[in-house]
Amino acid sequence: MNKLIFGRYIPGDSVIHHMDPRAKLLLSFYFIGIIFIANNWMTYLLLFAFTFLAITMSGVKWSFFINGVKPLIWLILFTVVLQVLFSASGGPVYWHWGIITISRLGLINGAYIFCRFVLIIFMSTLLTLTTPPLELSDAIEYILMPLKAVHFPVYEVALMLSIALRFVPTLMDETEKIMNAQRARGVDFGAGNIFQQMRAVVPLLIPLFVSSFNRAEDLATAMEARGYQGGEGRSKFRILKWHARDSWVTVIFAALTVALIFLRA
Amino acid sequence: MAITFKQVDFTYQPGTPFETKALTDINVTIPDGSYTALIGHTGSGKSTLLQHLNALLKPTSGTVTIGERVITPATNNKDLKKLRQHVGIVFQFPESQLFEETVEKDIAFGPQNFGVSEADALKTAAEMLDLVGLNQDLLKRSPFDLSGGQMRRVAIAGVLAMKPQVLVLDEPTAGLDPQGRLDMMEMFARLRHEQHLTVVLVTHQMDDVANYADNVIVMDGGRIVKTGTPREIFKEPQWLVEHQLGLPKTTAFAQQLIARGWQFDRMPLTEDELAEDLIAQLPTTAFGGATTHDE
């Protein structure tokens, strides 16, 4: 569980680290959207060049991104293989057996899907690696603000989000600790058949739930004691600032979009 | 059961960008039947070392010999169960490991994992409850209904029920009231003599080290910086301060007396020792003779 790179934050001092989290979040989503504009090798080349440039600018080591793709590689290959084997025939057919057809179009589509997956994972890994979780939750709160008009509990959702993010590492430590304590009492995690494995999880899950309840109760008491009465009417300690660089990056993304539309077949 | 570390290094998350070295070149033996105290300030690697004692962690390099069993970096995770039965670890705040419906079942959980029949395990559970000083009518209660101190005792009973030969205690008295603390430390000392246990105690309480331990290992920055008897370790107060450690209350008091011109042949560790030394030094005329003085 410690090997998980996806979703971690690596402190750094690049332009991308200093960008406004709102800009980063929205532009990441926007990027995932414009990936689907690309439909020939020129456009994909442009997108890859753009992603490589962004990653180089962030100063984060390449190994992080490769490790980010690793856990998903089987899913990607599975999708690509399905696409290659079962896509409707188009162009010259290289091999045919029953319902399985390998055609030129299928191969091309498979390659595109692979590129899309890699681009999406690289860009979202870049977002999480360069943005502290709390800044992300601030950004989400800001972006959700318009929903207040339809009585969506924005403050509450934002609070839950930041508390949840704050307690992820704590709960992971706790899990590790309880696992070790139960191992020392003779529990074999991950051994035996599926039913034995499921039974072995009980001595881990129950203490985890119990400690989460206790933690929630303590935290709620501590928050009330410090005067928390709900989200309405609170001031903010961390204030998000939109800088010129954020506008520039937005302009670059717009230019990228124009170039993509221009290059697409 | 003796435990020997030979050139043990341990690194967390090796090969990742988050790798941190926790233990460096550990060479030490915890003798059979000893009461060993493991001290060192926070983050010195005590808990990492402790998890090597029953192969929850395996060394990144070097070997750990636990009784007959040799643990190397290549040791398979399977069939470590037997080893874990012989080395019982009471982790910090062990009450967080309770999960069964009743106290009795929770204590019996460990032995049952090691193949003891349910009837025998439940019988052991009742005995263990006595041993940790809890009332038998708690047996059928839910562990979550108990007070913090009682939960701690139940958790410790659950480890003792496995009948380990080595008992490892990671700050067993943290967060307990003074009486609970004393009871628990006395209980461990008694168990050690009755069942010939090897005890390893991780603690920040220097008084406990002075009162109970006969062997001390001092850690700093993932290395072992000193081993010896408590008297040897507490002999040099300046050295301890340098490694961010303290003195037992008695020894600290003796140091103040030394500063005012008193002299001690040995460094007194316990209150009894200090009292003896002081009585021996008091002018016999002052209180009508120190020899008739009550203890």
In chain A the beta strands, taken as DSSP E runs, fall at 93-97, 100-103
Residue B139 sits in the same domain as residue B185: yes
Residue B159 sits in the same domain as residue B271: no
Question: B293 pLDDT band (50/70/90 cuts)?
Answer: very low
pLDDT of residue B286: 55
Q: Per-residue pLDDT tens for B22-54?
A: 999 999 999 999 999 999 988 899 999 999 998
pLDDT of residue B284: 66
pLDDT of residue A88: 66
Average pLDDT of chain B to the nearest whole number: 89
| Nearest-angstrom CA–CA distance, B155 and B95 | 6
Domain count, chain B: 2
pTM of the model: 0.79
pLDDT of residue B287: 55
With CB atoms and an 8 Å threshold, state whether A186 touches B88: no
Residue A187: closest CA among chain B residues belongs to which residue?
B113
Domain range for residue B281?
Answer: 248-295
Q: Is residue B270 part of a domain?
A: yes
Contact A21, A139 (CB under 8 A): yes
ipTM score assigned to the predicted complex:
0.85
| Nearest-angstrom CA–CA distance, B7 and A38 | 57
Cα angle: A199, vertex A200, A203; to 5 degrees: 100
* Residue where the block lists tokens 């709620």: A220
pLDDT of residue A4: 54
Q: Which amino acid, one-letter code, is at A1?
A: M
CATH for B197 = 3.40.50.300
B99 touches chain A (CB under 8 A): yes
**d(CA A125, nearest CA chain B) in Å:** 15
B50 touches chain A (CB under 8 A): no
The total number of residues shown for chain B amounts to 295
With CB atoms and an 8 Å threshold, state whether B96 touches A64: no
* Strands B166-170 and B198-202, sheet pairing: parallel
Last residue of a domain, one of B206, B231, B256: B231
Q: Say which residues have a Cβ less than 8 Å from residue A116's Cβ, sequence separation at least 6.
A: A35, A36
3-state SS, residue A101:
strand
Residue B184 sits in the same domain as residue B211: yes
Contact B141, B179 (CB under 8 A): no
Residue B217 sits in the same domain as residue B255: no
Residue B253 sits in the same domain as residue B217: no
Residue B17: closest CA among chain A residues belongs to which residue?
A64
Per-residue pLDDT of chain A (265 residues; tens, 9 = 90+): 444 555 677 788 888 888 899 999 999 999 999 998 888 889 999 999 999 999 999 988 888 888 878 888 999 999 998 888 877 666 677 777 777 778 888 888 889 999 999 999 999 889 988 988 888 888 998 999 999 999 999 888 988 988 988 888 889 889 999 999 999 998 888 878 888 888 889 999 999 999 999 999 999 999 999 999 887 788 888 888 898 999 999 999 999 999 999 998 7
Residue B201 sits in the same domain as residue B280: no
Residue B258 sits in the same domain as residue B188: no
Contact A155, A192 (CB under 8 A): no
Q: Which amino acid, one-letter code, is at B128?
A: M
Q: Which amino acid, one-letter code, is at A237?
A: F
Residue B106 sits in the same domain as residue B143: yes
3-state SS, residue B240:
helix
Residue B257 sits in the same domain as residue B136: no
Q: Which amino acid, one-letter code, is at B46?
A: K
| Nearest-angstrom CA–CA distance, A21 and A18 | 8
**d(CA B291, nearest CA chain A) in Å:** 52
Question: Is the C-alpha dihedral spanning B172, B176, B180, B182 positive or negative?
Answer: positive
With CB atoms and an 8 Å threshold, state whether A185 touches B159: yes
Residue B146 sits in the same domain as residue B182: yes
B228: β partners: B216
Judged against a pLDDT cut of 80, whether residue B204 lies above it is answered with: yes
With CB atoms and an 8 Å threshold, state whether B96 touches A182: no
Q: Is residue B61 part of a domain?
A: no
The torsion region of residue A18 among left (phi > 0), alpha (psi -120 to 50) and beta comes to alpha
Question: B281 pLDDT band (50/70/90 cuts)?
Answer: confident
Q: Is residue B182 part of a domain?
A: yes
| Nearest-angstrom CA–CA distance, B134 and B123 | 15
Judged against a pLDDT cut of 70, whether residue B291 lies above it is answered with: no
Mean pLDDT of B225-234: 91
B114 touches chain A (CB under 8 A): yes
Residue A112 CB coordination number (10 Å)? 20
Q: Which of B49, B53, B57, B56 is nearest to B25 (CA)?
A: B49
| Nearest-angstrom CA–CA distance, B194 and B216 | 22
Judged against a pLDDT cut of 50, whether residue B226 lies above it is answered with: yes
Determine the number of helices (DSSP H) and then strands (DSSP E) in chain A. 10, 2
| Nearest-angstrom CA–CA distance, B234 and B208 | 13
Residue B179 sits in the same domain as residue B50: yes
Q: Is residue B1 part of a domain?
A: no
Residue B123 sits in the same domain as residue B200: yes
Question: B105 pLDDT band (50/70/90 cuts)?
Answer: very high
pLDDT of residue A209: 94
Q: Spell out which residues of chain A touch residue B94, defining contact as CB-CB under 8 Å.
A: 181
CA distances to A14, A43, A56, B239 from A115, in Å: 26, 11, 19, 61
Q: Which two tokens stand for residue A199?
A: 């039974």
pLDDT, greater one: B283 or A84: A84
Q: Is residue B69 part of a domain?
A: no
Q: Is residue B8 part of a domain?
A: no
pLDDT of residue B290: 47
* Strands B3-12 and B223-228, sheet pairing: unpaired
Q: Is residue B120 part of a domain?
A: yes
Question: B283 pLDDT band (50/70/90 cuts)?
Answer: confident
Q: Is residue B17 part of a domain?
A: no
